Structure 1
Amino acid sequence: MEEKGLAGVESPQPSVEESFGNLPDTNQSDIDFNSNPDPQLFVVQEDGASPVIDDKSDAGSGPITLLGAETYPEGGLEAWLVVFGSFCGLCASLGIMNTIAIFQTYLATHQLSDYSEGTIGWIFSLYTFLCFAGGIYVGPMFDKYGPKWLVSVGSVGIVVSMMLLSICTDYWHFLLAFGVLNGLASSACFTPCFTTIGHYFRERRGMATGIASTGGGVGGVVFPLMLQRLFNQVGYAWAIRILGLVCMVLFIFAMLLVRKRLPPASNASTHPDFRIFKEKAFFLTTCGVFLLELGLFIPLAYISSYAVAQGFSSAFAFQILPILNAASVFGRALPGYWADKIGPFNSNMLSVFLTVVSVLGIWLPVGHTMPGIIIFVILFGFGTGNNISITPVCVGRLCHTQHYGRYYATCYTIVSIACLVGIPIAGTLAEATGGNYWSLIVFTGLTQCLSFSFFAAAKVVSVGWKPQVKF
């Protein structure tokens, strides 16, 4: 595998023998030595190969200090406790994200009834945008300092956001409390919950990440049902406060259990490095994730409103989202095992194909019927559940574990733009077609078709036209 050096770097390079002494057989062209203290590009190793480490090199003045021939526990008490802590953190943070349809529907009929759905959608678009955009620094900070303070700050921020949300009355209140504060706090919390797992698992990373990510699906099932009942029994304010207290308990486990294992590279930096987009596979993967997320949040935000518009009761409209998220739980857990067997990219492409079928083959023609909408949310939830859990594994496939946080965060910083515009675009499309939802359904389906194409292109760039290859 060849490595293209960074443009304009002419500094003399130390020999392999001078820097490392006697090493196992390693292709020297696979290693880029650079005296620049900034984050470095490096070659993605094939399975079984490992970059080299120099424990004695000075930080910022020697070669890239990546671990060599490191081993992963692939299990054990400490590793599974980390998975459980990540599960709790994702249950609270992504559980709220998977409940935005309930917030959207409730606010549109109560506090913000004077605003259009597109305008209300900007609250949740800003929230999802900041959830991912904030990772541009969260990822590198995780690589260098670990998850402890990131998860702690994010947890406190989310709980405070819920308490403030319970007393909001005006549009700008909701925009700041939920859109801004909760978005930034969630970014600090869930990014480390995903990337920490890569420090304990490699061969079983898909399964472990899938198990942890089921937390978001569980939260997406429990929180809507809980809020639906609490809205009627104790009112809006106390319903939101109780949700905040539940999240606080979950975050306590996350703060205690989520921790990294591998030391940082000695030249690790807290600043983003967009030069990694020079890697074609990573660039194409990011494009695929961008389109995937552009369409993903549209059903999550509008499925309850869609059900009401089709004449279903408000009670059923609130219950349809938990059904989607329940299917997502299985979609996150079960395919993770297969992703370890057939490769994360192969698993992801199969799930995106299932999503396309559910949107264009079921939701569009028969979504107005009760069997149709139920079948749609089950298939869509299962398919996107796998996408959510396996996409980080796909990103991890393209980088070294010590740079997992940087690659994951850089990818999702670009993806955050899709999260910002996806929901408002869908709302505008629905309004432009007289409140008919066929336009946003077609838009959702097209984004998933294009996403499949980019994931396939990333695989072709990496391993060629070999459908049977594990990748």
Structure 2
Amino acid sequence: MATTTVLELSELSEHYNAPVRTTSKTLRGGYTTSPKASGYATPPRQIEAATTVLTGQPEFSLPPTDRGKSAWLFLAASFLIEAVVWGFPFSFGVFQDYYQTHEPFAGSSGIATIGTCAIGVSYMGFPLVVLLQRLYPRATRYGPKAGLLVMSLSLVASSFATTVPQLVVTQGIFYAIAACTCYCPCMLYLDEWFVSRRGLAFGIVWSGTGTGGFLIPLLLEFLLGKYGFRTALRIWAVTLLIVTMPLIYFVRPRLPISSSTHAKPYKLPFLFDKTFLFYQFASMAESIGFFLPAVYLPTYARSFLGAGHFLAALTVMLINVSAVIGTIVMGSLTDKFGISTCLIISTMGATLATFLLWGLASNLATLYAFCILYGLFASSYVSIWPAMTRDIISSAMSADESPAGENRAASYDPIMILGVMTAGRGLSNVVSGPLSEALIKNLPWKDEAASAWGSGYGPLIVFTGVTAVLGGTTVVCKRLGWMDRY
């Protein structure tokens, strides 16, 4: 005898955090909502629960969003996975400083490419992994385990490298692909567990990178100094496996997956959305300069200011620990304030810190002040992405209401939008590697200007500051009406 499964009709609007048309709609996972006569659904908190009939399934109720033990355990596990998975590549400045001064890589070119690939390739692979996990949701649960195993193996393989290209492939590309596979389910399921506190939840998870980026360099600096890079990589590979494997148990979906779910054609109409394109351009422009300080500051502190290895590595740690505060605070602000306000805070803070503090840094105290403020403001930019996603979808829904509306917003996937924006950030990161090496080649402006401007890193500082400004261009574009649809 058929039984019923109780689902909330609000699930669709929870994914978009905005009203949705209440026509018959198939949700991800195979469930279908019942149509009403006309009009729009009210916000999620005001919708009465509806039922969907599925054969062979027991009756149950879904765990609550934004609260409850399961939601917070999921968030805590995602935060810790973020910390260990992404804290390592974001600590690459420590490895770069080591590789440049120790055999067999001392004097080799392209060392910066290792770090940019570890971050950039993983970012660029995000949409593809999200697409595959949307098409095959039942296989998504195995992604973290498979990705974790490959990450650990790639680090072990890196420990046997004798050339920079070998490190690019193992510590860079292979690690990146595996990290993306391991991490993507956290983003997919977070969109199910948190609705009204979504910005805060994303901010907390993304602050894991800063937490790991603060603590992991301390361990890596110790291991590299005591054992060398080969043993250091092997120790971290084992540590990564032991720490992360138990956390995967808590990375589970809130919405049940139908056993009858099959792969279906997947559309990406938002790729041609004007609002999305403006946000994507601004985000990519900001990203191309965002990663450079964390990569070059240790070398800058050691070569220009005479800092020891620990004091040089402290620059990266300060950026990362302040990023923890920045991403959480900004995530909370996006739930309460307009997107333009948040963008102004992030971009102006990063720009002023770059030009006034790094540009004038002639001692470690000033440089450390820059690291703190840059991590606080520049790192918070990604926490505005969920608000950008809401704006993109809300704008599309408004357009659907116009006489020429095409009802495209219903097929906008917020996580895929974030995925494509992440890919753009990754592309910018990969480009920034060789571009940054060109900017400091032969140390231009050296001894021709005061403070850091004349250190040989002057063009790099200018480039970082200008790209931070470009990240806020959508504030002006919205003010001028260029992002309006009609």
Q: TM-score, normalised to structure 2's length?
A: 0.77
Task: Classify 1:437/1:395 alpha carbon distance in 2 versus 1 (closer, same or farther; 3 Å).
Answer: same
Q: Which residue of 2 aligns with 1:17?
A: none
Q: CA deviation at 1:269?
A: 6.0
**2:328 aligned partner:** 333
Residue identity opposite 1:151 in structure 2? P
Q: 2:98 matched to which residue of 1?
A: 106
Q: What are the superposed Cα offsets for residues 414-434 of structure 1, whole Å, 9 maximum, x if unpaired?
A: 332211111221121011544
Aligned counterpart for 1:152 among listed residues 145, 149, 157: 145
How far 1:255 moved relative to its partner? 1.8
Confirm or deny that 1:54 pairs with 2:24. Answer: yes
CA, structure 1 residues 391+258, in 2 after alignment: closer, same or farther (shift >3 Å)? same
In the other structure, the counterpart of 1:321 is: 316
Alignment correspondent of 1:468: none
Using the TM superposition, name which of 76-85 and 433-442 deviates more: 433-442
Residue type of the alignment partner of 1:316: L
- Equivalent pair of 1:192/1:405 in contact (CA under 8 Å): no
Shift of the 206–115 alpha-carbon distance from structure 1 to 2, 3 Å rule, reads same
Distance 2:256 2:340 in 1: 28
Going from structure 1 to structure 2, the CA distance change for 1:460 and 1:389 (only over 3 Å counts) comes to same
Deviation of the 1:332 alpha carbon: 1.7
Match of 2:66 in 1: 74
Q: Is 2:379 the partner of 1:388?
A: no
- The equivalent of 2:196 in structure 1 is 203
* Gap change, CA 1:384 and 1:48, over 3 Å in 2: same
Query: What is the aligned partner in structure 2 of residue 430 from structure 1?
Result: 440
- Aligned partner of 2:464 among 444, 453, 471: 444
Matched, 1:375 2:369: yes
2:221 paired with 1:228? yes
More moved, 130-139 vs 189-198? 189-198
Instruction: Measure how far apart 1:267 and its partner are.
Output: 9.9
Residue matched to 1:143? 134
**Hey, what's the Cα distance between the residues in 2 that align with 1:432 and 1:113?**
17
Match of 1:181 among 174, 185, 199: 174
Contact 2:124 2:422 in 1 (8 A): yes
Amino acid at match of 1:89: I
AA partner of residue 361 (structure 1): L
Identical pairs, percent: 22
Contact 1:143 1:405 in 2 (8 A): no
1:275-314 equivalent positions in 2, closer than 5 A = 275-310=269-304, 311-314=306-309
CA contact (8 A) 2:443 2:457 kept: yes
2:474 aligns to what? 454
Relative to structure 1, is the Cα distance of residues 52 and 215 closer, same or farther in structure 2, using a 3 angstrom cutoff? same
Aligned pair 1:167/2:160, yes or no? yes
CA contact (8 A) 2:29 2:256 kept: no
**Correspondence 1:361 to 2:371:** no
Residues 292-347 of structure 1: CA deviation (Å, up to 9, x unaligned): 21111111111111111212222211122111111111112223222211145532
For the residue of structure 2 that corresponds to 1:73, the secondary structure is coil
Q: Distance in 1 between matches of 2:264 and 2:247?
A: 23
Task: Give, as a single letter, the amino acid of the residue that structure 2 aligns with 1:131.
Answer: S
Structure 1 pair 389/240, CA: closer, same or farther in 2 (3 Å)? farther
Distance 1:360 1:197, change over 3 A: same
Partner-residue secondary structure (3-state), 1:112: coil
What amino acid is aligned across from residue 382 of structure 1 in structure 2?
A: L
User: Quick one: which of 117, 121, 133 aligns to 1:130?
Assistant: 121
Residues 455 and 289 of structure 1: CA distance in aligned 2, closer, same or farther (over 3 Å): farther
> How far, CA to CA, are the matches of 2:411 and 2:269 in structure 1?
18
Deviation by residue 1:124-181 (Cα, 9 ceiling, x = unmatched): 2222221111112112233344442222222222111221222222222201111210
Question: Aligned partners of 2:187, 2:427: CA distance in 1, in Å?
Answer: 20
Separation of aligned partners in 2, 1:212 and 1:57: 26
SS at 1:342's partner residue?
A: coil
Equivalent pairs counted in the alignment come to 419
- AA matched with 2:205: A
Do the aligned partners of residues 320 and 260 (structure 1) sit closer, same or farther apart at CA in structure 2, a change above 3 Å counting?
same
- Secondary structure of 2:74's counterpart equals helix
Conserved in 2, the CA contact under 8 Å of 1:139 and 1:408?
no
Contact 1:135 1:191 in 2 (8 A): yes
C-alpha contact (below 8 Å) 1:349/1:452 kept by paired residues: yes
Matches within 5 A, 1:1-12: none
- What's the CA shift for 1:188? 1.6
| Partner SS state of residue 357, structure 1 | helix
AA of the residue aligned to 2:356: G
Residues 54-82 of structure 1: per-residue CA shift (max 9 Å, x gap): 3679999x9999x9665661111111111
Classify the secondary structure of the residue corresponding to 2:378: helix
Q: Which residue of 2 aligns with 1:238?
A: 231
Whether the 8 Å contact between 2:191 and 2:415 is mirrored in structure 1 is no
2:29–2:261 contact (8 Å) kept in structure 1: yes
Moved more, 221-230 or 258-267: 258-267
Output the TM-score relative to the length of structure 1.
0.79
Amino acid at match of 1:280: K
CA RMSD of aligned residues (A): 3.4
Contact 1:433-1:439 within 8 A present in 2 as well? no
For 1:136, what is the secondary structure of its paired residue?
A: helix
Higher RCO (CA < 8 A, seq sep 6+): 1
Cα 1:57–1:50, aligned 2, differ >3 Å: closer, same or farther? closer
Residue 158 of structure 1 aligns to a residue whose secondary structure is: helix
SS at match of 1:98: helix
Q: Does the C-alpha gap of structure 1 residues 297 and 48 become closer, same or farther in structure 2, counting only changes over 3 Å?
A: closer
**8 Å contact from structure 1 (residues 396, 408) kept in 2:** no
1:58 and 1:92 map into 2 onto residues whose CA distance is 30
Choose 187-196 or 417-426, whichever is displaced more.
187-196
